[in-house]
A and B are shown apart, each in its own frame.
Chain A
Amino acid sequence: MSGDRASDRINQRILAVDHLSMRFGGIVAVNDLSFEAGQRQITALIGPNGAGKTTVFNCITGFYKPTGGTMRLTHEGAPAIALERLNDFRISKQAKVARTFQNIRLFPGMTALENLMVAQHNALMLASGLTFLGLIGAPSWRVAEQRAIDLATFWLKRIGLLDRADDAAGNLPYGDQRRLEIARAMCTEPALLCLDEPAAGLNARESAALSELLLSIRAEQGTSILLIEHDMSVVMEISDHVVVMDYGVKIAEGSPQQVRDDPKVIAAYLGADEEEAIAVMESGT
């Protein structure tokens, strides 16, 4: 059955990372990493600190140019896009890949609503006739602006921040800022949403709400999600597929259950040998 599921995944993949390598001088942060993320699936990238997860994210989202390997992004019914050939903003604009950051990067001096409006920059820029139509207040621009406000309102409602729409983003509590950052990424209407530790610093209740939000995003918007996460309760609950990294290489991959029971994974997390990990597991069960 799991075999069926795997082949299914390969037919409908949104992202295929193939032999990805990233070197910084003599340091190999990511070494020959290959994995796939399925269409409308939640793929988790986990691993101990310093495993190279965020580096993979930075390669996928165009902040780093990988030293080697390819990353193919396939939208439904469209030819594949070579992500390694696009640079910074084009990944979001053309390939429709949105991301959040490990340390929240909102625009703190702008309101929550403004943050979501900035996210719709490219669509609004076209609607404003590259500013000129907007400057003279053309009716088509007003309609587009209202639509953008409606989309922002929709997402604010979705993350439960409608009441605080006019508050500065920097004034919101930490958990709200995390959700606002996800909403902001969703306002770019992405096909693939990359979340870098979305549950970091959240309490158990907020983590549960986050899991619910991510599942609903996948169900309702049909967005594929790739996430880095340390909070195993979130990973195990929502992931369809888990990729485990350590020291820049993939050490395991599979369903959450398979990964949880993999001695190599446990060894990596405990910082111990494989044999020791097996011993720990056996004594535990």
Chain B
Amino acid sequence: MTGVSGSPSEPKPAAGAPGFGAVLKTGATSAFVALILFSLMIGIRTEAGPTGQLIYWTRFGDLASLVAAVFVGSIAVELVRQWWGPAGGRVVPASVQNGLSIAGRFVAPALLVFTLLVPVIFYDQRYILDLGILVLTYVMLGWGLNVVVGLAGLLDLGYVAFYAVGAYSYALLATNFGLSFWICLPLAGILASLWGVLLGFPVLRLRGDYLAIVTLAFGEIIRLVIINWQSLTGGPNGISGIPRPSLFGIPLTPGDDGLAAMLGIEFSPTHRIVFLFYLILALALLTNWVTIRLRRLPIGRAWEALREDEVACRALGINTTTTKLTAFATGAMFGGFAGAFFATRQGFISPESFTFQESALVLAIVVLGGMGSQLGVALAALAMIGGFELFRGLEQYRMLVFGLAMVLLMIWRPRGLIGHRAPTVYLKHAQAISSDLVKEGHG
């Protein structure tokens, strides 16, 4: 009603595009949908009156301005889309994509150097260092899950289970048996990959939605077991007093045998933070290095081939069972490492840290980054975790901004930040493979 009569500025239709009428029609349709959606949400305001009765009043003015905004906005979007070039297919122009791919070559080394220097630059800013550790933890988790989801194409919604197994492995081994972090770290990885294989067996025959649901359930099962097995895990109370890591046996404490005393410098709690920062950076880089190596080995190629076409893999004599299980186990192992680090960093863990939300967040990082792309995952983790913190000032709107950013990203780059695939072997020159050709896997 009022919305439809909102006056748009006179736009000039782009050459070869559908006429002004069509644009106007799109706008009117959007405005109509907005009118229906918002008529109850905005148009009528209800509240409990002083004596408990329901009182309501109308806000048609607000409704009208909202519908008008939708109308104008949708026309603007439509015009921008026409100006951008033919709709459908690729929305980002080729020149922009080329530019991105060239820039991509320098992004990774620059990012690495910057990350190495973060503790030097921000030595006095504890907040930045903590944030850096958090981001790197998610980078590592993303890289770990990338093996399962990005390379092997198996959708895993319960990745947090392996994170939890790693964290609890370290916490229990360290508090009950007094084992050091460096002994527990490989054990946590081995235990997590054992659970990865255990998850792998029942889901070998499942595909797509079914696989996703079973992995989701697996994540919940692990969490519920942790909550309910009170005698071992402490249940909802969690485990506290988890020992801090030492630098190969030298504790980072103010005492006489501490690292600071040995080096003859004054003790500062920041030392431990810096140490943790480099520890997670090393773990993340190990994950990255192993994944890059594995991609160039037969097992990694078999993972990618499995994502592309499982039937063809079987025809070529590839044992799809062990291939899938190794993907689950490798991904889980990195999750376990990250979990052990998480436990030693926090000093306290409880089941609340291992909810489905964590799995979803890590999966979102992998998908946004571009499945299979190591750099993309790192950038996505930075954007998701760092960006989330950046918008802390926006308070309750940051979830909205966040959602909007994700929607926009999915419109412009539906296959993630870095959607193309780099070949693992080449004769003359390696050329990136367009994301249109690369399959997403069946699971």
**B-binding residues in A (CB < 8 A):** 61-63, 88-93, 98-99, 101, 105-111, 113-114, 117-122, 124-125, 128, 131, 134-135, 149, 153, 162, 165-168, 170-171, 184-185, 188
- 21 sampled A-B residue pairs with Cβ under 8 A: A92-B314, A92-B316, A93-B319, A98-B315, A98-B316, A107-B309, A109-B421, A109-B439, A110-B304, A110-B305, A111-B433, A114-B424, A117-B424, A118-B302, A122-B318, A124-B297, A131-B294, A134-B293, A135-B290, A149-B427, A167-B431
A105-B309, A121-B302 in contact; A168/B318 too (CB < 8 A)?
A: no
A101 to B224, CA, bound (A): 46
Please determine whether B431 and A124 come into contact, CB atoms closer than 8 angstroms: no
- Using Cβ atoms and an 8 Å threshold, which residues of chain A touch B401? none
Q: A105-B312, A113-B426, A131-B297 are in contact. Are A121 and B421 (CB under 8 A)?
A: no
B426: chain A residues within 8 A (beta carbon): 111, 113, 165-166
Query: B271 on the interface (CB 8 Å rule)?
Result: no
A109 touches B438 (CB 8 A): yes
Query: Could you list which residues of chain B lie within 8 angstroms of chain A, going by C-beta atoms?
Result: 290, 293-294, 297-299, 301-302, 304-305, 307-309, 311-320, 326, 421, 423-431, 433-434, 437-439
Which chain B residue shows the least CB distance to A131? B299
Assuming the contacts A121-B298, A131-B299, asked whether A110 and B316 have C-beta atoms less than 8 A apart, the reply is: no
User: Which of A89, A93, A106, A149 is B309 in contact with, Cβ under 8 Å?
Assistant: A106
Measured CA separation A131–B437 after assembly (Å): 27
Using A113-B426, A149-B425, A171-B437 as known contacts, say yes or no to A92 and B315 having CB atoms under 8 A apart.
yes
Q: How far is the CA of A63 from the CA of B293 in the complex (A)?
A: 32
Question: Of all chain B residues, which has the CB nearest A165?
Answer: B427
The CA-CA distance from A111 to B318 in the complex, in Å, is: 18
Q: Which chain A residue has the least Cβ–Cβ distance from B326? A: A131
B437 touches A168 (CB 8 A): yes
Pairwise interchain contact A107-B428, C-beta atoms closer than 8 A: no
- Using CB atoms, name the residue of chain A closest to B426: A166
* Cα–Cα, bound, A93→B326 (Å): 19
Q: How far is the CA of A20 from the CA of B302 in the complex (A)?
A: 33
CA distance A202 to B434 in the complex (A): 26
- Note all chain A residues with C-beta closer than 8 A to B290: 135
In the complex, what distance in Å separates the CA atom of A124 from the CA atom of B317? 12
Instruction: Point out the residues of chain B lying under 8 angstroms from A113, CB to CB.
Output: 423, 425-427
Residues of B contacting A99 with CB < 8 Å? Answer: 315
Determine the distance from Cα of A121 to Cα of B430 in the docked complex, in whole angstroms: 21
Query: Are the CB atoms of A101 and B312 closer together than 8 Å?
Result: yes
Docked complex Cα distance between A33 and B334 (Å): 52
Interfacial chain B residues near A110, Cβ < 8 Å: 301, 304-305, 308, 423, 433
With A131-B297, A131-B299 already in contact, the answer to whether A114 and B317 are too (CB < 8 A) is no
A153 / chain B contacts, CB cutoff of 8 Å: 427
Kindly list chain A residues whose C-beta atoms are within 8 Å of the C-beta of B312.
101, 105-107
Residues B439 and A184 in contact, CB atoms below 8 Å apart: no
